[in-house]
């Protein structure tokens, strides 16, 4: 199972619209849109989980494509790591 980052989503994006977009490339196992706490609108990014070969096909097919007027940024999720944080001592 691979987790894919999808960025540059419009604020009008819904779980249903993003799932329909990704389901062209395979079965969407899970989907998480990051939403504004107060308005409930999409903050412009989310995560989709798919099988590896399906995720690669979705990245190849959707990265740089237009979705509801926005150009999508689709790639494998990068490990968070300790960017900018001080390590424990």
For residue 57, tell me if it sits in a domain: yes
Nearest-CA neighbor of 33 among 20, 19, 58, 15? 15
For residue 7, tell me if it sits in a domain: yes
pLDDT digits (tens, 9 = 90+) for 67-78: 999 999 999 998
| pLDDT at residue 80, as a whole number | 78
For residue 84, tell me if it sits in a domain: no
Tell me if residue 58 falls in helix, strand or coil: helix
Domain region containing 59: 2-76
CATH assignment at residue 37 = 3.30.70.330
| pLDDT at residue 73, as a whole number | 98
Q: How far apart are CA 38 and CA 5, in angstroms?
A: 23
Q: How many domains is the chain built from?
A: 1
| pLDDT at residue 66, as a whole number | 97
Phi-psi region of 53 (alpha: psi -120 to 50; beta: other; left: phi over 0): alpha
* CA atoms in the 13 A half-sphere facing the CB of 52: 0
| pLDDT at residue 79, as a whole number | 84
For residue 81, tell me if it sits in a domain: no
**Average predicted confidence (pLDDT) for the chain:** 93
The pair of structure tokens assigned to 11 is 């604020």
Is the pLDDT confidence value at 87 over 80? Answer: no
């Amino acid at each position: 199972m691979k987790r894919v980052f999808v960025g540059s989503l419009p604020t009008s994006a819904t779980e249903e619209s993003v799932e329909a977009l990704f389901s062209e490339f395979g079965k969407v196992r899970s989907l998480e849109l990051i939403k504004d706490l107060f308005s409930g609108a999409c903050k412009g990014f989310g995560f989709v989980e798919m099988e590896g070969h399906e995720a690669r096909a979705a990245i190849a097919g959707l990265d740089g494509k237009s979705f509801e007027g926005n150009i999508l940024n689709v790639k494998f999720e990068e490990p968070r790591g300790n960017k900018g944080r001080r390590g424990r001592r």
